[in-house]
Amino acid sequence: MKVAVIGAGQLGRMLALSGYPLGIRCEFYDRSADTPGGQVGPIATGEFDDIARLATFAARADVLTFDWENIPVSSLEPLAGLVPIYPQPGALAIAQDRLLEKTLFRDLGIPTPAFAPVDLRSDLEAAVERIGIPGVLKTRRLGYDGKGQARIMKRADIDAAWRQLGGDALIYEGFVRFQREVSLVAVRSTKGEFAAYPLAENVHRHGILAETRAPAARRASLQRAAEKHVRAVLERFRYVGVLAMEFFVEGGTLIANEMAPRVHNSGHWTIEGAQTSQFENHLRAITGLPLGSTAARGHSAMVNFVGRMPAPSRALAMPGLHLHDYGKSEARPGRKLGHATLVAPTARARDAALARMRRLT
């Protein structure tokens, strides 16, 4: 079985590594061959809007997927007659636009912050008047890892936010005074089989995921609610593959923030911490294989290495630590270079280990 992967970052790399034991071979397409995925599988290079090169690449595969959610949907749609594409481009199109995404959540009855579209300065004034302050002004497209956002905590912030982001298609969202951030990674197969991993609790720094603990649900009701919300999205699109949804926890209620139609950073813990990793289950789902168990093996912690990697001799001296170096050729501030995970028998032991893992960064 040959899987074509558009995008060859660390997510694609981990997909390929999980596919080899199953007899699944991943091939990549990216703008450069100097990529994490290109180190573990064949890679074709070209622009993401070069339909002819993409078609040649896709036609050699049994199924096509992607590891990056900013792939132009207009580049995927012409390939649909050549090869099955999972997840479906329609789901990707919604995830690429925060206004469409929030509208989907609202239409499905999934709690989400109050929101309003903003194209003009007068729209922002009207949105602030209706939704109130504090709030967050965001670009509708291409914002990730905290980019394309400006907080409006008082009226005096409106001018600065507009100077920073005005001119793009925007959305204004009410500010959520959350206690925790959590995410659910779930998967749906070509046969409609559904499975969900335990909720994970996430900590972000400077808009980038810094660490994850799983399982995170302190009450079973949160896990049930998260699965209900994610399943509603999967069924709406008859979605195939892994999808992650990020939530704020406010007063015991889940508030949906965003979704990612791909394997997700907050699911890295599943490589060592679950019976079947998110990467293996994504490949199982899109190739028609039965899904694997999503049960946790214990209590997991994951730490992202952003901007610099720890010395392997220091990291690997920590008992039970699993180090993942993405093989990126250049370290720079804000760039995800690798991660480490650790699985412990209890939450207390996990949290103690996490404190030691933090000191590696």
CA distance 133 to 251: 19
Please name the residue that has the structure tokens 């925007």.
170
pLDDT, one tens digit per residue, over 297-317 is 999 999 999 999 999 999 999
The pLDDT tens digits of the residues spanning 320-334 come to 999 999 999 889 999
- What domains, with CATH codes, occur in the chain? 2-85 (3.40.50.20), 114-174 (3.30.1490.20), 180-358 (3.30.470.20)
**What's the CA gap between 285 and 239, in Å, rounded?**
10
Mean pLDDT rounded to a whole number for the chain = 95
pLDDT tens for residues 81-123?
899 999 999 999 999 999 999 999 999 999 999 999 999 999 9
pLDDT of residue 277: 98
What is the three-class DSSP state of 325?
strand
CB atoms within 10 A of CB 41: 20
Neighbour-count burial for 314-352, b at 16+ CB within 10 Å, e otherwise: ebeebeebbbbbbbbeeeeeeebbbbbbbbbeeeebbee
Give the sign of the dihedral formed by CA 309, CA 311, CA 313, CA 318.
negative
This prediction's pTM:
0.95
What confidence score (pLDDT) does residue 207 get? 85
pLDDT for residue 166 is more than 90: no
CB half-sphere exposure, 346, CA atoms < 13 A: 3
What confidence tens digit (pLDDT) does each residue in 222-257 have? 999 999 999 999 999 999 999 999 999 998 899 999
Residue 14's pLDDT is what?
98
Residue-wise pLDDT for 44-86, tens only, equals: 999 999 999 999 999 999 999 999 989 999 999 999 989 999 9
**To the nearest 10°, the Cα dihedral for 240, 261, 183, 265?**
110
278-286 helix and 10-19 helix, angle to the nearest 10 degrees: 70
What is the pLDDT, as a whole number, of residue 167? 82
Count CA atoms within 13 Å of residue 89 on its CB side: 16
